[in-house]
Amino acid sequence: MTQCRKFVLLGVLGSATFSSACSHSVAVANSPQAASNPPVVAVAKAAHADLSSSLILTAEFEPFQEIDVMAKVSGYIREIKVDIGDRVKEGQLLATLDVPEMQDDLNRAAAAIDEANAELAAARDDLQRAQSAHEIAHLSYSRILDVSRREPGLVPQQDVDEAHSRDLVAEAQVAGAQARITACEQRIRVSQAEQARIKTLYQYAVITAPFAGVVTKRYANEGSLIQAGTSSQTQAMPVVRLSENRLLRLSLPVPESAVPLVHLGEPVDVQVSALHRTFPGRVARFADKVDEATRTMKTEVDVPNASLELVPGMYAEVDLITQRRRDVLSVPVEALDVADSSTQLFAVRPDGVIHIIFIRTGIEDAERVEVQSGDLKDGDDVVIGSRAGLMEGMKVQPKITTLASAVTLKP
């Protein structure tokens, strides 16, 4: 019985000690000293800003257009004016071919025209003779026929028929002479067309630049035999390779999920690590079809290169903006507290009291995130530092902190 009383006494003493400790802790938390020294927390302002989401894609610069300059006619290179790295203008002379047999073709065509003109002159003389003979024969026939009608039986019918026959023969000769004139005129036109064709081909012996660009490769030297470049002769050697580099293009494989967000004319930032610079570009064209093998859509970005600082073959990272929102309420990314599929942040009221707000977020960039719903207003302070130990209704001392990644906010 005495031992049981000892256990009861010890239990009473323990309860009294625990109650005393708890009372002391509550007293310390609610003491005037604790209330006068609230913890300092780093905060930033909720503010309206322009936000955009982007997709970083890597591509290689390509010339806007690049061709191998071929010769239209076969010949030996008499003179070549350019070399690798030369910048040429549109229409500038690149090379001259020596094609001696083509000059012979021109002389032959000119001789054919002269021959046709001579035949035409002879045919015109024949026409005049035929017309004169026809006039005499027709006049004779008309006279005999008139006498035969006025004095029947005076002129034998055979003489009338012979005169009529001579008239018809003379008329046929006139028609034949006119046909020969027409044939000569056609021959002249054919010869002139052949001469024009040869002259056109002869102009191809002078090879010029089809557009302004840079010579990136030289295939031939003076004296080289250049074959005519046709689609059926793939072994024909080009003269030079010409690239237009004042405007470059980047071919980007845009993922299927981002295809609906690609818009023509959209400005993009092009980061070139080799130059440690960013260049402006724009979305110029896209395939409007998703590749079945890669599930991407080919999209091309044009980048101006007037100073020729960029060189085809350089790698670049394209910041392709897929979504843009203007003047939306936003907070720093550091203010979000995501847990159990819910997003919350710790706001500090004007009286310095913590208020936990559950929000729904929207578009997000590297620094800030859009707040689509929640009890938050423009200018509210939100905690961006450590939130350990903070809870609803707690008194704190806010301190505005400028983030290293802060963006310029709308006033």
pLDDT surpasses 70 at 221? yes
Other Cβ atoms closer than 10 A to 230: 10
Residues 254, 262 contacting (CB under 8 angstroms): yes
Residues 344, 331 contacting (CB under 8 angstroms): no
Q: Are residues 116 and 199 in the same domain?
A: yes
pLDDT surpasses 60 at 168? yes
Q: Are residues 216 and 91 in the same domain?
A: yes
Domain count within the chain: 3
Q: Are residues 261 and 231 in the same domain?
A: no
Instruction: List, for residues 61-101, the tens digit of each pLDDT value.
Output: 999 999 999 888 888 999 999 999 999 999 999 999 998 88
Q: Are residues 121 and 140 in the same domain?
A: yes
**9 lies in a domain?**
no
Instruction: List, for residues 269-321, the tens digit of each pLDDT value.
Output: 999 999 999 999 999 999 989 999 999 999 999 999 999 999 999 999 998 87
pLDDT surpasses 90 at 177? no
Residues 396, 40 contacting (CB under 8 angstroms): yes
Helix (H, G, I), strand (E, B), or coil: what is residue 38?
A: coil
Per-residue pLDDT at 100: 83
Q: Report which secondary-structure segment, H or E, holds 76.
A: strand 75-80
Per-residue pLDDT at 174: 87
Q: Are residues 107 and 193 in the same domain?
A: yes
Q: Are residues 84 and 209 in the same domain?
A: yes
Residues 335, 383 contacting (CB under 8 angstroms): yes
Instruction: List, for residues 116-148, the tens digit of each pLDDT value.
Output: 899 889 888 888 888 888 888 888 878 877 877
Q: How far is CA 328 from the centre of its chain?
A: 33
Structural domain that includes position 148: 101-203
Q: Are residues 194 and 166 in the same domain?
A: yes
Among candidate residues 238, 255, 285, the one where a domain is terminated: 238
Residue 83, token pair as written in the block: 């070399």
Q: Are residues 139 and 106 in the same domain?
A: yes
Among candidate residues 290, 305, 325, the one where a domain is terminated: 325
Mean pLDDT of the chain: 83
Model pTM score = 0.59
Among candidate residues 192, 222, 238, the one where a domain is terminated: 238
Residue 238 per-residue DSSP state: P
Non-local (6+) Cβ contacts of 134 within 8 A are 167, 170, 171, 173, 174
Which CATH number belongs to the domain containing residue 86 in this structure?
Answer: 2.40.50.100
pLDDT surpasses 90 at 339? no
Residues 177, 36 contacting (CB under 8 angstroms): no
pLDDT surpasses 70 at 22? no
Q: Are residues 156 and 123 in the same domain?
A: yes
Q: Are residues 157 and 146 in the same domain?
A: yes
Q: Are residues 185 and 255 in the same domain?
A: no
